Structures are given as C-alpha cells and as structure tokens.
C-alpha cells in the first residue's frame, strides 16, 4: 500500500517560481514536490505466498502430476510407463544411454555394497576425503584437457558457489542473457557491478566489456565473462571462439557452464570448447554428472592455482558433506566407458542427425540448434499447448517436455526433444509421424476449439 502526490509548500529565498503548483509571494516562492509514503504494516509471509503461488505454481491445480511433476516409471530407457501406459520418452538427458548400461548398474551396486551411502562422512576439508575422490578428479581433469579438477556435490549449487568464490566486489561480471538459472543466481550474489549481453551477441559483449573496463580501471578489479557451452533450451552453442578472440583486445577471464556439452561434443567428448577448438582460451569450465553420466555430482576444471583456490574457498563444498563413495565409484566407471566406447557418442549423433533432418524435411522449425538438444517451435497459446501435449502422450504415446511463456515468447509452443544413444531410427520415425499429426490439428484450430479443461484421473 502506498500514497503518492502529497504537496508540501516550502519557503525559499528570492527566485522564480518553479512548477505549476508554485506561487509567487513577495520575492519568495513555494515549490510543491511529490513523494511516496509507505504506511507501516506487516504482512504474514505465508499469507502472501498463499495468495501468489508464483508463475508456475499458479497452474498447479490442473498441471500437477501430468504437465508438472509427472511420474515416468520403470527402467530408464526410451520406452517407459506413464500413468499406466507405455510412452516413447524424449525428455531425459541420458545422452549416452549410460543410465541403464549393465556395467554402470553393476558399478553402482558394487559401490553401495562396499561402502554404503554414508562413507566418507563429513566435508572433504575435514574428514570426507578419499583416494578415490582424488583419483576421479585427476581422471576428469585429464579427460577434459585441463591441469586440475575439483569434484562438486551438485551442479546447480556448484555453479552458484564457483561464481561467488571467483569474484570480489571490485570485479565486474558480464554474462549471456540466456544463461541457466544457476548462473543467474550466482550473479545475483555478486556485490559488484554486472552487465548482461543479448544471447550470443558478441558485438554487444564488446560494448559491455568497454563499460566493465571503465569500472575496473577505477576499482582495481577484474572482469569475468560467463556463458554456456551448449544452451539447454535452444541447442545453440556459445560463441566461445569469438569470446576467446576478444581477449586480444580486453583483459578478462572466461567461465563456461558446459553441462550439456560434456560427453556429447568434441572428438573425444571433452565438451564444446574441444568441439570449437578453443580449449586453451577458456579458463574455467563447469561440467555436470547429471546428463551424459546419468548420475549426481559435478566438477569444475581449470588451472591448478585456480582449482586449489576454489578447493579452499567454495562455501558449497567446504560446508557440505563429501560426495558419497558409491557415486564416486559409479562416476569412475562411467568415465571409463566414455573413454573406451566412442560408439556411444556416435550412436547419439546418428539419432540426432536422423531426428533433426527428418523434422526439417517435414517443415518443422527446430530453430538454430547445433547440438543434440532439439526444440520444435510451433505457433499457439498455452491452451493449445496443453491440449496438444495431452494428445501426444495419450493418443500417440510420445512423451516430451513442453515449454511455454514466459520461457518462450507469447504465441510460441516449444516441444523439447533430447535424443540419446539408445533411441532407434524406428523411434525417430514414430515421433515425426506423431508430430505431423498434432501439427495438422494445431493448424486447423482443433485444440483451441476443444481446450483441455482437466486431466482425467
């Protein structure tokens, strides 16, 4: 609640009157000004959140359990069970198909049998370190062609904490507008200046670097540029080569989140920087185990001095329990398979090429993806999107993620497909046929004429 526009007369010395409300009076004048007054009253936090459930929560009354928080059941494979029916799923980031690989499943069992989930107890800095943790870090650093690596418990939490540790209040952050939420949250913690550049707009990035340099020349700080290797919604690759090239004109460091690129991009699967042949110019890179490795955990790689600094200064690791040993044992096996079985990555790209070329041939707009991430962009409103998705799942047996406003512009529906090494060409053909069928209905206005008002129990 607020009250605005209160006029208060003030007496000044001889001068001309200012503003329409000012009145001349014997060589003096009155000036009225406006201010905002906030009455003092308290609001119960729980009452506020009950009244405003948030942009996603406001739809939970009909979306929960179907469009949000759905339950895919059974073994992790392209075909799983959803509400009692088998569906062909394209919504899992199991890029290399390792989630249900027999060697991986056995390694997970052996790790749990030998160590249990508790070991090692405590934070690594105190009592939670082990030889296997250090072995995994060394092997990961070698795999991504960096001098050193540091294990992280979680990806999202890790990125937030990396940013927090790398910069001081004297530094300036410049970041891509379409950065993942974990980057945005990390940037929000920064006590210094921060500038954003439009997605992959290197020309604008250069302008932001000019602004940043003016500030750091005064503060004595540095500049950190943050972007992604592979953007998880659009499938675009970050302009890493072009950003590295800007180092010739500006003094800054680069931090890249390559969660989706790890295992999928580059001749050896080392990531997007390897794919773009600019590894040496990218200073610090983050990777997650939650996608190609189909597990939990993450790591950050870079120069030994920087990784050592992060080891002793990342609050999310210093004050958190060590990564449980079964996850470490499982990650070692997954990394071994990524190194020794390049056919996993080759199979993935066979499916990617078949899916993307097939969709394009049928006239579908898949944007400018340069990676396995495959967005299918359609024209329609949120009611169209819900009805179309329901039709896909219930009548065509195809399960994929649906993305609508505000993540994409109003009037756009994004169906996001994640191909994997264990999908088949028959899966691709079934999916394209299903997409043709629902797109035809969308064009005819079928979904807008019969909107989905409730999901059957």
Q: What CATH number does residue 225 fall under?
A: 3.40.640.10
Secondary structure of residue 366 in the 3-state scheme: coil
Give the count of beta carbons closer than 10 Å to the beta carbon of residue 16: 7
Q: Are residues 330 and 437 in the same domain?
A: no
The answer to whether position 49 is within a domain reads no
- Domain of 373, CATH number, reads 3.90.1150.10
Q: What is the mean pLDDT of residues 378-385?
A: 92
Q: Are residues 225 and 295 in the same domain?
A: yes
Q: Distance between CA 349 and CA 358 in Å, rounded?
A: 14
Q: Are residues 244 and 195 in the same domain?
A: yes
- Token reading at 363: 């006239």
Q: Are residues 182 and 269 in the same domain?
A: yes
- Domain range for 32: 1-39
Q: Are residues 72 and 196 in the same domain?
A: no
Q: Distance between CA 272 and CA 265 in Å, rounded?
A: 5
Q: Are residues 263 and 151 in the same domain?
A: yes
Q: Are residues 133 and 121 in the same domain?
A: yes
Q: Are residues 199 and 287 in the same domain?
A: yes
Model pLDDT for residues 195-213, shown as the tens digit of each residue: 999 999 999 999 999 999 9
Secondary structure of residue 301 in the 3-state scheme: strand
Q: Are residues 224 and 321 in the same domain?
A: yes
Q: What is the total count of domains within the chain?
A: 3
Q: What pLDDT does residue 9 have? A: 39
Q: Using only C-alpha atoms, what is the Rg of the chain? A: 27
The answer to whether position 54 is within a domain reads no
Q: Distance between CA 371 and CA 342 in Å, rounded?
A: 17
Q: Are residues 427 and 392 in the same domain?
A: yes
Q: Which of 288, 312, 340 is the last residue of a domain?
A: 340
Prediction pTM value? 0.88
Q: Distance between CA 144 and CA 269 in Å, rounded?
A: 8
Q: Are residues 402 and 383 in the same domain?
A: yes
Q: In what order do the strands lie in the sheet with 412-417?
A: 374-379, 412-417, 401-403
Instruction: Give CB contacts under 8 A, 24+ apart, made by 182-189.
Output: 182/155, 182/156, 182/157, 182/158, 182/257, 183/159, 183/226, 183/228, 183/257, 185/156, 185/160, 186/159, 186/160, 186/161, 186/162, 187/163, 187/226, 189/160, 189/163, 189/164
Confidence class for position 54, pLDDT limits 50, 70, 90 = confident
Model pLDDT for residues 78-127, shown as the tens digit of each residue: 999 999 999 999 999 999 999 999 999 999 999 999 999 999 999 999 99
Q: pLDDT exceeding 90 applies to what percent of the chain?
A: 81
pLDDT of 36 > 60? The answer is: no
């Amino acid at each position: 609640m607020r009250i605005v526009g209160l006029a208060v007369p003030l007496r000044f010395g001889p001068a001309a009157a200012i503003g329409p409300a000012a009145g001349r009076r014997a060589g003096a004048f009155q000036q009225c000004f406006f201010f905002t007054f906030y009455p003092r009253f308290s609001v119960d936090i729980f009452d506020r959140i009950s009244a405003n459930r948030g942009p996603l929560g406001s739809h939970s009354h009909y979306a929960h359990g179907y469009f949000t928080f759905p339950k895919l059941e059974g073994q992790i494979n392209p075909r799983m069970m959803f509400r009692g029916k088998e569906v062909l799923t394209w919504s899992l980031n199991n890029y290399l198909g390792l989630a249900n690989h027999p060697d991986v499943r056995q390694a997970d069992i052996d790790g749990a049998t030998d160590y249990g989930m508790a070991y090692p107890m405590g934070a690594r800095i105190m009592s939670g370190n082990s030889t296997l943790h250090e072995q995994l870090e060394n092997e990961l650093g070698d795999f991504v062609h960096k001098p050193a690596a540091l294990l992280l418990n979680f990806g999202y939490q890790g990125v937030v904490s990396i940013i927090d540790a790398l910069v001081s209040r004297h530094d300036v952050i410049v970041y891509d507008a379409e950065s993942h939420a974990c980057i945005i949250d990390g940037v929000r913690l920064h006590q210094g200046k921060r500038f954003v550049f439009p997605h992959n707009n290197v020309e604008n990035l250069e302008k932001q670097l000019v602004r940043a340099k003016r500030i750091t020349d005064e503060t004595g700080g540095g500049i950190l540029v943050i972007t992604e290797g592979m953007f998880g919604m659009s499938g675009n690759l970050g302009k890493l080569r072009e950003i590295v090239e800007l180092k010739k004109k500006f003094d800054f460091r680069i931090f890249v989140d390559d969660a989706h690129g790890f295992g999928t991009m580059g001749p050896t699967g080392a990531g997007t920087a390897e794919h773009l042949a600019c590894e040496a110019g990218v200073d610090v890179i983050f990777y997650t185990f939650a996608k190609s490795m189909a597990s939990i955990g993450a790591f950050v790689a870079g120069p030994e001095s920087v990784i050592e600094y992060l080891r002793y200064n990342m609050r999310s690791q210093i004050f958190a329990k060590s990564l449980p040993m079964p996850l470490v044992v499982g990650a070692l096996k997954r990394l071994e398979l990524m190194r020794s079985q390049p056919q996993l990555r080759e199979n993935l790209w066979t499916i990617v090429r078949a899916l993307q070329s097939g969709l394009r041939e049928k006239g579908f707009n898949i944007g400018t993806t340069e990676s396995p991430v495959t967005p299918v962009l359609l024209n329609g409103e949120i009611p169209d999107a819900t009805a179309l998705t329901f039709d896909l799942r219930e009548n065509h047996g195809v399960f994929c993620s649906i993305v609508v406003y505000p993540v994409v512009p109003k009037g756009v529906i994004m169906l996001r497909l994640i191909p994997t090494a264990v999908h088949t060409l028959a899966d691709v053909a079934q999916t394209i046929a299903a997409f043709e069928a629902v797109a035809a209905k969308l064009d005819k206005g079928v979904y807008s004429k019969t909107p989905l008002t409730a999901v059957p129990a």
